[in-house]
Structures are given as C-alpha cells and as structure tokens.
Chains A and B, each alone.
Chain A
Amino acid sequence: MRRRSPGFLLAAPAWAWLLIFFIAPVAMVVWFSFGYKPSIFATQATDKLSFDRYAEVLDPTFFATFQNTLWVGIAGTALCFLIGLPVAYWMAVKAPPSKRGLLVALVMVPFWTNFLVRTIGWQVILSPDGWLSTALQAVGFEPLAILNTRGAVLLGVVYNYLPLMILPLFVAFDRVNGPLREASKDLGAGKWTTFFRVTLPLAQPGIIAGVLLVYIPLMGDYITATVLGGAKGNMVGQLVASQFQTAQNWALGSAMAVVLIFVILLSAGIGAGIVWLVTLPFRARNRLVIGPPAPVPSAPSPGSGPAAASASIREEVGA
C-alpha cells in the first residue's frame, strides 16, 4: 500500500478552501435559519433558537414559488438533456476528430460574455416591441407575449445552462471509444441497440455530472428569473435574495435557503430512483448470472483458468 500522507497534503489546500468557503458558510446559514430578526435594523439573532422561520417559510406564496421553481428546474434540466445529448453525441462520435477542439470552443463561446448581459440580451429579443416581435408581426403574427412568463425563464435557463450539460456529456461519449461500438455492431447489434446498450450506459457518469451541473445551479438561479420571468416567473432564488438584500431578514432567508437545499437533494434522489426503476426491466432482461461451475472432479477449478488451460494444452500436445 502507498503511504497516505503525501496525497493528503496535496489535497490540503482544496480541503481548506472547501472548509472556509463552502462548509462554514452553509453551516452559518443553517445556524441562522433557527434564529430570528430581532428588530427593524438588525438582520438576524440566534440567542433564541426555534423552528419558527421554517413555519414562516411554508406559507402558500412560498409554496407556489417552490412549485414554479421545481417546474422550471425539472423542465429546464430535461430540455438541456434532450437538446444536449444529441449535440454531445454528434460532437464526440460523428464529427471529424480534427474539428472537435473547435466545436468544444464554440460551445464555450457564450461563457465569454457576462451571464447577466446575455440574459438581458434575451430580454431585448423577446420584448413585444423587439426586432423578433416586429419581424413576426410583419409576416402576420401576433406580437410576442413571451416575456415575463415561465416560458421565457425556461428559454433563458436552457440557453444559459446548455453548455454545462454538453461538456460532460461530450467527455463521456468521447471516452466510450470506437472499438466498443464496433464490437457491438460486430456482434449483431444495430446502431440503436448499440447506443442504448453500450454507449449510453458507459456515458452514465457524464450524464449524472451534466444533470447535476445543470439542475443544482438552475434551482438556485435568480438572475434569469428576475430578468426574464417578471412576476409570473418567480423562483425561490429571488425570494432568498430579497430576504437577504431587501427585507434584511437573514433568518428567514437562511431558512428558505435550507429548504431549497433540502428540496434539491430530495428531488435529485427521487429522480435517480425513478431512472433506476424505469431502467430496471431492461437491465433485468439482459442480466445473466451463471454462478460457480458445478464441482466436476476433472474440471479446472475457478481461479486457475489460464494456468489450467495451458496445462491441458500441453497434455493435448504431448499426447
């Protein structure tokens, strides 16, 4: 066994970073969520701990916003997956290898511009008196009425988060190398069977990474919802931000954030469970367990395959 200490030391800066900038703040948020807002000029106090803020969180307005957030989060992630999957597959498998670097760079291009600016860009495009709406009206359509709806938020998040889905999927498909797909076809499987039985299962880590990379930040996103959603496209992220920034009630904001974290974990777990259940029959159909060989005295014992095999070959040759 290798000694552990050098590797652990190498990871120390990362651990320190994680502790100071991730674990500690989350712990603070959880701590604050049990406190209260003592006066109009103070943001939070924790001298008396209670679950009161959680009771406050679960009012009907918040519930409706949560439903909306979940809807956008799930629909947005699903859309990113459905759009990103063929694109990533094409980039990794079908596109000429010499062009792949360029394609990855093109996927990254939107990141060169500020997130907020890009989202405001969509506001301009989707506005009822924007150029798109004007152009549509010129050919006889109604003015665009998409801005400040949930649809606009969905469009915005798909646009903003799609690269985060494509990149891990691309890496995953790229890793499932050509010989495996060729072996599948060689053994009689067509392209669809090859995709569903070889390519997709082996891309699983990339799919999980892509879905989580999109779903988690999307659930907490409030810029897209603020810019494109208006009142109808309200998301939990906005409520949390407004508690911290406008209402100056950190205790309530923290409680909302904790509920959000909980909902994200729970929904991701449920999602994984659903996928597991749906794919269960397919996996069961292809499963084949042989079990240990029957104890025949002359048969080579398990664990001595090649040695026994070459011994038997020598016997055959010698005979």
Chain B
Amino acid sequence: MTTATTIEAGGGTAPGVGAAQGEAPGTVVIDSVTKQYGDATAVDRLSLTIQPGEFISLLGPSGCGKTTTLRMIAGFEHPDAGDIRVSGRSVLGVPPYRRDVNTVFQAYALFPHMSVAENVAYGLQQKRTPKSEIRQRVVDALDLAQMRGFADRKPTQLSGGQQQRVALARALVNRPSVLLLDEPLGALDRQLREEMQLELKLLQSRLGITFVFVTHDQGEALSMSDRIAIMRSGRIEQLADADTVYARPVSAYVAAFVGQQNFFRGTVGGDGSSIDATHAKVRAASASLQEGTAGQAAVRPEFVEIAADGPTAAASGTPNTARGTLIGVSHQGETMQYLVQLGDDQSLIARRPSPEAPQLAVGDAVVCSWRAESVLLFPSDDAASAGGYVAPPTA
C-alpha cells in the first residue's frame, strides 16, 4: 500500500503506529518474536533485521520455525510476543491484505478458475487500479516472468515451472516492498530448480525488492542469498553470508547442515587442538577446545584425499590420516564420492573432482588424509552424528 512513503516522511513522529526512525521502505525488523503452538515453541525470541533490497534465506530443517517466521511477516500467524516492523511500521494486528508484502506460496496457490492474466490481475483489482493500468501492468509482469504467451491459459494447463513463474508475476505485479518466498522451488525437478535459482537472483537484483526466502535446501540458500539465517528450534543459530556460513560455521549443527561433514567424536587432547576418536586422531590447525572434554572434529568430504593403501602410499606429510576399507563409490557428475569404513561405527566420505579421482574398487584398502587447516573443532553436540547427517530438532 502507500503507507511506506508516508512513514518515511513522517519518520518517528507518527504516534501509536510503532514507526521507527531510519528504517527505510523494504526493511523488515523482527524484534524478539515468540510464537507458541500449545506447549511447542515454534519461534523463540527471534530477532532479525533484514535490509532493504537484501536477499535473505531462512534455512533449516522442517520444524525449525522458518515457515512460521515467514507467515508472521505475511500476517497469517500472529506473534505471542515481540514486534515485527515492515518499512519502519509495526504490522502487529495488521491483516495480511493491508500489508505491503506479497508471498509466493509453496504449492503456488494459483486460482484454478482464473486464467493466468486474471490471477496476476487479482491483486491490482483489489486496489481498485484502473482497468487500462491493470492490463498494462499484467502484461509487464508476465513479460518479466517470461509468461506473456501463456496469459489466457488456465493454471492447470501449465507445467510446474510455468506455474512458478505465474506465482512470481502475481506477487511482483503489486510492487511490494518485501517479497516472501515459501520454498517456492521445492516442487520443481533439479534442473529447472537450478535455472530458477539463477533467475530469481537476477530478478531480485534487477528489482531491488527485499526477498525473504524460506528453504530447507542449503544449496538454494548458498547460491542465491546475500545472507543466510540458519535456524534451529525457533532461533537463529548463525546469520552470515554464504562464504562465512560454509567456511566458518559457528556450531556443529551449522557445519552439518550446510554442505556435508565427516564428524569424529572423542576426547579433546593435545592442547585443545585435536580429537582422539576411536579410529583416528584428528588434528586441527588451532586450539579452540578445553583439553580432556568431549568434543568433535569435522572435515568436509571435498578436503579428504584418498589413495590405495600399500607400500607406495607414503606419508604425504599431512597430520591427519585414516586407514579403512572402501565400501562405496558413486559417480556424481563433476565429482566422485567414496565411502570408507574406518571401523564399526565410523565411516568417512571423501570427494574428489572426477578428472583427478583415483581408480579404486569397492573392497580396496585405502588411506585417507586431510590437512589440519580443513578441520573444524566443536564442543560435543548431540545434533550432529558421525557421518555428517543431522537429526532434525524436535521442536
């Protein structure tokens, strides 16, 4: 609606509407928001400031509170405590149809009884836009979404990717300050999804609209976001750009959720810079843990080198080596992935670029090695288990 500009002009002087000074249109401020369903806390004192024009992803497993957060910004859920401001104005108690945000829904939620053009026109009709202007803006929005040629079809006559584009056009035609996207690519096949990721990112940087993108797919979050908020049990575990989240995760949970990790659990030894696990002693480059406590080391599969074990397998000078049996090899296109059994309860994944991948067969004795700089140390954390998989939190 038009409130954004008035608030901008009025600044903090407008009484009773919770206007905050210095929050430009497109800013979303979530201020210690809590949402409970019965005994379960879906969102727990969450605070987050989203800058205008930013592409931010809320990333986490199902049940982490990311969708609830999005729905509170959209107005479909109401916080039990805290405040949400869009463009500097509190939206508490403001119904969804009076908010300057639009949503792209998970299953698109296109109206099946209306044509593509009528779907896109729906929002403009609600704002009593003149008919000639509606027509022009619908055509523009469909052009933007590359769906101009499908204007008079019904949504049921479209493929998933096409429906996705219509849903995007239907939201963007209203020129919202903030666009909310609730796992919009989840229903698409992989190739289409990767194309759409690229398109969404280009569209967002062209339009300069704030995008809040909810996903459980770390690849999506990494490829598109300016910043990623990794959520866990209703709180933000880490908020940073993709590089930081990938290279310097603040916890084993984040480390395991973004990309893949090999975890070794054991006792912290050697000045707090190594973990004595059952089948390997893992050394990191720097000390960060208390000696003698329980801890875990994480190393990404792409940092693990693998070679056939034998007399020729000379020590490569790396401090970390582990011997085991190759129990699986899988070709993943640009990389080869090796699954190595180190012991009964410890396996290790190594990944090498296909051109330089060693020729190994299942059952071979292999030796794996990795540099100390690639090892991350974390205190013991029940969320991460050996093998790099994370059990979703219960909340």
Contacts and interface: CB of A to CB of B under 8 A. Distances in A.
Interface of A: 179-180, 182-190, 193, 197-198, 201-202, 286-293, 299-306, 308-310, 312-313, 316-317
B148 interface: yes
B4 to A, nearest CB: 15
Interface in B71-106: 74-76, 95-98, 101-103, 105-106
A299 B96 CA distance: 36
A302 B123 contact: no
Given A179-B105, A306-B146, A313-B202, A188 B97 contact: yes
27 contacts: A179-B106, A183-B109, A183-B110, A184-B111, A184-B122, A186-B74, A186-B171, A187-B102, A187-B126, A187-B170, A202-B111, A202-B112, A202-B113, A286-B125, A288-B117, A288-B135, A289-B152, A290-B138, A290-B139, A290-B152, A293-B148, A299-B148, A301-B149, A302-B148, A308-B146, A309-B199, A313-B195
Contacts of A300: 146, 148-149
A291 to B, nearest CB: 7
Interface stretch (B158-166, B272-280, B327-335): B158-166
Given A182-B96, A313-B202, 12 more contacts: A179-B105, A179-B107, A182-B109, A186-B103, A190-B97, A197-B122, A288-B134, A289-B152, A290-B135, A290-B148, A293-B149, A305-B165
Contacts of A313: 195, 198-199, 202
B174 interface: yes
Interface residues of B, number: 52
Contacts of B138: 288, 290
Contact of A182 (B105, B162, B198): B105
Contacts of A299: 148
A186 B142 contact: no
A188 B147 CA distance: 23
B18 to A, nearest CB: 22
B389 interface: no
Interface of B: 74-76, 95-98, 101-103, 105-107, 109-115, 117-118, 121-123, 125-127, 134-135, 138-139, 142, 146-152, 159, 161-162, 165, 170-171, 174, 192, 195, 198-199, 202
B209 to A, nearest CB: 15
Contacts of A188: 97-98, 123, 126-127, 174
Nearest to B182: A179
Contacts of B139: 290
A317 B202 CA distance: 9
Contact of A305 (B109, B112, B149, B198): B149
Nearest to B180: A186
Contacts of B122: 184, 187, 189, 197
A306 B109 contact: no
Grouping DSSP codes into helix (H, G, I), strand (E, B) and loop, the A interface class, with mixed when no group exceeds half, is helix
A293 B153 CA distance: 13
A193 B159 CA distance: 28
Contacts of B117: 288-290
B314 to A, nearest CB: 44
A290 B111 CA distance: 17
Nearest to B147: A305
B199 A305 contact: no
A291 B202 CA distance: 28
Contacts of B102: 186-187
Contact of B118 (A286, A303, A308): A286
Contacts of A202: 111-113
A148 B244 CA distance: 84
- Please indicate which of the listed interface residues B101, B103, B111 has the most CB atoms of chain A within 10 Å of its own CB: B111
Nearest to A180: B109
Contacts of B198: 313, 317
Q: Which 4 A-B pairs have the closest CB atoms?
A: A302-B149, A309-B146, A188-B126, A290-B151
B149 A303 contact: yes
Contacts of A180: 109, 111
Contact of B96 (A185, A193, A292): A185
A286 B111 CA distance: 13
B381 to A, nearest CB: 36
Contacts of A286: 114, 118, 121, 125
A308 B134 CA distance: 26
Contacts of A288: 115, 117-118, 121, 134-135, 138
B161 A187 contact: no
A182 B76 contact: yes
Contact of B146 (A187, A197, A201, A305): A305
B94 to A, nearest CB: 12
A313 to B, nearest CB: 5
A302 B76 CA distance: 36
Nearest to B150: A305
Contacts of A305: 146-147, 149-150, 162, 165
Contacts of B110: 183
